[in-house]
Amino acid sequence: MRRAGGTMALARRFMLALALVVLAAGSAAAQIDSTVHNLTTTNAKMRGDSKGAGVCIFCHTPHNARPSSGLWNRDLPAVTYKLYESSTLQAQMSQPNGSSRLCLSCHDGILALSNMRVAPISGPVAPMPALSGTASFGTDLSNDHPISFVYNSALAVRTGDLVDPMALPQTAPLDNEKRLQCTSCHDPHLNRPNFLRIDDLFGADCTVCHRDHNWRGSSHATAAQTWHGGKATAPWPADGYATMAENACQSCHRVHAAAHPQLLLAQTIEEKNCTICHNGMLAKQNIEIEFFKPSSHQVQGRQWIHNAAEDPVTMPRHVTCVDCHNPHAATSSALGTRPRVLPGALRGVSGVTVGGVSIREANFEYEVCLKCHGMTEPTGLGIVRQDHTRNIGRKINPVNRSSHPLAAPGRNVRMTGLVTPYNSSSMISCTDCHNNDQWTQGGTAPRGPHGSRFEPILQMEYEAVDPSTESYSSYALCYKCHDRSAILFNFGGFPHKQHVIDQHTSCAVCHDPHGSRQSTYLINFMEMSKQGAPVVRPSKSGRLEYVPDPARPGHGKCYMTCHNTDHNPASY
């Protein structure tokens, strides 16, 4: 009796389980009816006559199914797929397997949709074409989000911005082997846009797994701007949302069929991924136009040289938007106050210290600049000085005899002749000098070293050619901080007027605006101009040197030959 009772109880449980399966299948079929996964004639988008065939039979069969999960009713042809690659990819990639391989039995476009292992009871369906267009991924998956990799805690730790799989919600399921598959994002039975398990509004479908610690408060995550480019192509998909914030990740990336495979970027031209919005069509300021000025960072010069995992020590020389800006972290406000200030636009960007050490996130503006300007000697034309280095990191290092106060306050505590509010303890930033020539406080022109009509990307004119005629405009950059009258007519014992006005000597002949490793007052004599003309030579005694008078600040002696006049020495 016990055995009979147990058997009956087991049978009841089996029947209940079967009923639940049938109900689930019925519910799934009901949802599929109104989607493109309905391949029967009730779906007007498909051709052919599949009258009498059930909705499920195109993917599933209860008998003679392929030996894999899902009672699959399609064969899986032998094919090797080209996989996603990236220098930042931490996962171990493998050929598609599990449910992803089942999805690809249709979506790789190899087999016709009507190619089934078991025909429906009503008989074979009329021939249907294979998938084509955007629904067909082909065998090249390098421009699609990676699939079939093991997503475990170790991967989350290595990557640094992935959610631990133990914390993933049920709306982002991994398979039984803890692999991320197509079905982690898509449920082929759901009547939802693109069969997504959750709505991708505000990037919700991506941020289930991807959690950049700077993203939520960034400008791109919160931008309420709408596209106003007229007939021009919007940056996000045609079926996207109205604002940048709502489209979120889809504003720059494509999960499938990305125009640029690495990082799944939406645009084929590198800088276009930024300038498609930052050209006045969506962002408030037009950055794109700045790159066409006479002096600019040539982001359009070399394509796809930047590598997200690059080392400033060994990377090839290049410049692109993301060398200076992290689109997942940038904000429109400054972080911190002077002297410890980092513009919000540079938030989350890697940098290099004045000591030449690479750091994951810069703390100061100059550390972002030093990635390119503080690691090696530039190869292009430039002023040749007594101390031949053109490495900016070496010049602004506060251990030098003198330097402009970028990394630390200046060492000359008696410095005078400065314009309010500057004083001897003030600090400045790179963009106080290297800036848009049209920028004004409170104006509409964008701030930053994108482009300028003054070389090298200077906010104001700085005449570095010798000889040159002095005027307020020709040395406007210097006079932004240094009072013109005080410098020329009342600056200790040094006769600036005699040199700059009377003899047409450029400020750049004696002073290196970044710093000097061997002398006070930024003195680092110009031996040869950028154009290759000789400027300052040693004196007849062979000396090229400025010797300050410790007893009288502002006084000293110069040993040199300048403008065909021998100073051996000249005392001031």
Q: Closest Cα partner for 323 from 344, 306, 340?
A: 306
> Minimum mean pLDDT among 223-237, 256-270, 292-306, 519-533: which range?
223-237
Measured CA to CA, the distance from residue 492 to residue 475 in angstroms comes to 20
Q: pLDDT tens-digit profile of 230-256?
A: 777 789 998 899 999 999 999 999 999
117 neighbors 73 (Cβ within 8 angstroms): yes
Does residue 293 have a pLDDT over 90? yes
Average pLDDT over residues 204-209: 95
> What's the pLDDT band for 23 if we cut at 50, 70, 90?
very low
> What's the pLDDT band for 123 if we cut at 50, 70, 90?
confident
Tokens of 507: 């400020």
Residue 503: burial class (beta carbons within 10 Å; 0-12, 13-18, 19+): middle
> Minimum mean pLDDT among 44-53, 345-354, 371-380, 448-457: which range?
44-53
The DSSP letter of residue 311 is -
Tokens of 552: 């009288």
Does residue 137 have a pLDDT over 60? yes
| Rg of the chain in Å (alpha carbons) | 33
Measured CA to CA, the distance from residue 467 to residue 454 in angstroms comes to 18
Q: Closest Cα partner for 232 from 273, 285, 288, 281?
A: 281
Does residue 477 have a pLDDT over 80? yes
In one letter, which amino acid is 404? H
170: left (phi over 0), alpha (psi -120 to 50) or beta: alpha
Tokens of 515: 């710093």
Does residue 20 have a pLDDT over 50? no
Does residue 41 have a pLDDT over 80? no
Q: Is the pTM of this model over 0.85?
A: yes
In one letter, which amino acid is 485? S
**Cβ atoms within 10 Å, residue 395:** 26
Q: pLDDT tens-digit profile of 67-110?
A: 777 899 999 989 999 999 999 999 999 999 999 999 999 999 99
Does residue 467 have a pLDDT over 80? yes
High-pLDDT (> 70) share of the chain, %: 91
- Please name the residues in contact with 157: beta carbons below 8 A apart, sequence gap of 6 or more: none
- Please name the residues in contact with 447: beta carbons below 8 A apart, sequence gap of 6 or more: 431, 435, 436, 439
> What's the pLDDT band for 438 if we cut at 50, 70, 90?
very high
Does residue 272 have a pLDDT over 50? yes
Measured CA to CA, the distance from residue 249 to residue 486 in angstroms comes to 54
Q: How many CA atoms lie within 13 A of 279 on its CB side?
A: 18
Average pLDDT over residues 123-136: 88
Q: Closest Cα partner for 174 from 161, 159, 156, 201?
A: 156
> What's the pLDDT band for 21 if we cut at 50, 70, 90?
very low
> What's the pLDDT band for 362 if we cut at 50, 70, 90?
very high
Q: pLDDT tens-digit profile of 153-166?
A: 999 999 999 999 99
Is the omega angle on the peptide bond into residue 165 within 30 degrees of 0, that is, cis?
no
**Cβ atoms within 10 Å, residue 155:** 18
Range list of H helices, 308-414:
321-324, 365-373, 392-396
> What's the pLDDT band for 18 if we cut at 50, 70, 90?
very low
Tokens of 218: 């960034």
> How large is the greatest C-alpha to C-alpha distance in the chain, in angstroms?
123
